[in-house]
Amino acid sequence: MSIFTEDIVNFRSVLQLAYNFLAGRDYLKKKKFQERKKLISVALPFSDLVFASGAVPVFPIRMEQFKVHSYLTALNSATNLIGWNLTTKLLSFVRKFDVLKILDTVLDDVIHTINDKYNELYDLGIDHGISSDFCYGITGLTGMFVSKGKNLDANINFTIRCSAWNKYSETLKQFVPRQIWVDIPPRNIDNALELLTDNVSQAISDLEEITGNIVSDNSLNKQFRIGNQIKRFYKTILYEFSASDFYPCNPATFSEILALLGLSYQDYNSDNQRYLESFSYLVKEMRERINKGIGMDVSDMPRILLTPVFGGWEPESHEILYELGARTIYADWEILNLLEEISVSKNSNPVEEYAKFLLNATTRGIGYDQEALTDSYIETAKALNVDGLVFNQVFGCHSISNCYSLLRRKIRNKLEIPTTVINFNKIGDNVEQVKTRLGAFMEMF
């Protein structure tokens, strides 16, 4: 992994996003105990209502103490004193003094420590009694609640068509007694939107009760505006930069960045404004590097969409693909229609607009059936203009993994691009098989 260090050191924004992800525990402690903010857990990118209520959304892994090199602690102190811009200079400065090895280790941790923690929490989920037949994502999430659930003031649940997800959500009250539910109707018929709008209003009332704050149309719209800007930046990276023949960095690093964005997008690293700034700077940095010709010509490397990864995937995959001459795109949130903007027009009702966003995401993106879900895959693959698709079949996933046979047929008929499936159970378990599969797949190019 150290081959990517060169790229990451030069990306201030990436370093910042990664640092904010990993340093969540201290940040959240400060929010909870000094600022008396309420911590509300979220999983999947459904943090808008929590932000609008003045509470702090937390993707629960971020409450963990990560095994981060002590250098990052020093970095934290440095950022407090001199800001992130100088910190990047500081890193460059330190490198000149030939401590690259230390720096490598630190950055290696930044990328890999999240996955190590995921595995640790997965094991905790299993120890807690979750059957190993369940998907990595749900088991890992359960482990997160076993580990740090007691620190949360509430949890917000959104029903989706994945029955394991809904049942997992039901079990969370053993860790976090206060549960907020947003029941999303399974499909958009008749006045389903009106019913969902009412359910969203109820969830807002629950949040108001917990936080003691009033959620106004203004606070909702303010959050949606921030979210919309983040989504635009996210799409710029997916559609403009990832499609470019010249990358601002090594393609494997680019995939690492996409993976980090995928993870952090769920709670915006608990600070929407700061996340927006980092995202904005990331786009700026990428563009500047491309304009200056800093990076890598990737015109001869096929673009491979690897999906779904949000429920767990083998993070070596993009490195393997890179070594095989390809570049990997992670775009789960786009496929699931979770990067759609929420209207903030003058006469709109923000609660209803949010309900529209949820209904669209769950009926068209996540899909009320396999036909809808696979259509969403096809549309996104077409829009991203990828050259191949690798389907990550997560063991124990009964919602998305089951659609592969249908998806494969649709890809053959509608896209005519190579496709393959890789199996995933737990990080690090299946690397050799993934290598073999991807090796055979890349021979098709």
Partner 1 sequence: MDNIELLESYNSYLQEQKANGKKIIAYLTHDNVPIELFEAAGFVPLPLIFAGKDELMDASHSYLPPSTCSYAQSCIGYFSSTPRTHEFLDLADYILLSNHCVSNICVSEILSNNFNRKRLDFYVSYTRNSNALKYYKLELKHLQKEIEGITKERIPDHRIKEEIIRHNNFKTIVEQVSKLNIPGSEKLDIYQKAILYGPAIQAEIEEIISSYKSNTKNTNSTHPKNVIFTGCSIFINDYLMDLIEDAGGNIVLFDTWIGRNYYSQTFSEEVIASLNDPIDLLTKRFENNVYGDHCVPDSLDNKIVFLENYVNEYHKKYGDKIGVINHIIKFCDHFSLFQSYFKEKLQERGVQVLNLERDYSRSIKGQLSTRIEAFMEMI
**Footprint on this chain of partner 1 (rule: CB under 8 A):** 128-131, 133-134, 138, 157, 159, 161-164, 166-171, 173-174, 179, 181, 183-187, 189-192, 195-196, 198-199, 202, 368-371, 393, 395-399, 401-406
Instruction: Give Cβ neighbours of residue 336 (< 8 Å, ≥ 6 apart).
Output: 361, 365, 366, 376
Q: How far is the CB of 381 from partner 1 (least distance, A)?
A: 21
Q: How far is the CB of 99 from partner 1 (least distance, A)?
A: 47
Q: How far is the CB of 434 from partner 1 (least distance, A)?
A: 16
Nearer CB in complex with partner 1: 341/352? 352
Q: How far is the CB of 155 from partner 1 (least distance, A)?
A: 11
- What contacts 24+ positions apart, CB below 8 Å, involve 297-302? 297/245, 297/246, 298/244, 298/245, 298/246, 298/247, 298/251, 298/327, 299/245, 299/246, 300/325, 301/251, 301/325, 301/326, 301/327, 302/326, 302/327, 302/387, 302/388, 302/442, 302/445
SS (H, E, C) 63-86: HCCCCCCHHHHHHHHHHHHHHHHH
The residues facing 303 across adjacent strands are 327
Nearer CB in complex with partner 1: 344/372? 372
Q: How far is the CB of 227 from partner 1 (least distance, A)?
A: 25
The residues facing 388 across adjacent strands are 304
Angle between helices 136-148 and 163-171 (to 10 degrees): 10
> Which helix (H) or strand (E) segment is 329 a member of?
strand 327-329
Nearer CB in complex with partner 1: 129/293? 129
d(CA 335, CA 357): 14
d(CA 292, CA 413): 41
Nearest of 337, 310, 319 to residue 392 by alpha carbon? 310
Nearer CB in complex with partner 1: 25/410? 410
Nearer CB in complex with partner 1: 138/257? 138
Q: How far is the CB of 313 from partner 1 (least distance, A)?
A: 16
The residues facing 310 across adjacent strands are none
Nearer CB in complex with partner 1: 114/176? 176
Nearer CB in complex with partner 1: 179/420? 179
Q: How far is the CB of 411 from partner 1 (least distance, A)?
A: 16
Nearer CB in complex with partner 1: 71/395? 395
Q: How far is the CB of 199 from partner 1 (least distance, A)?
A: 5
Token pair listed for 348: 């709109």
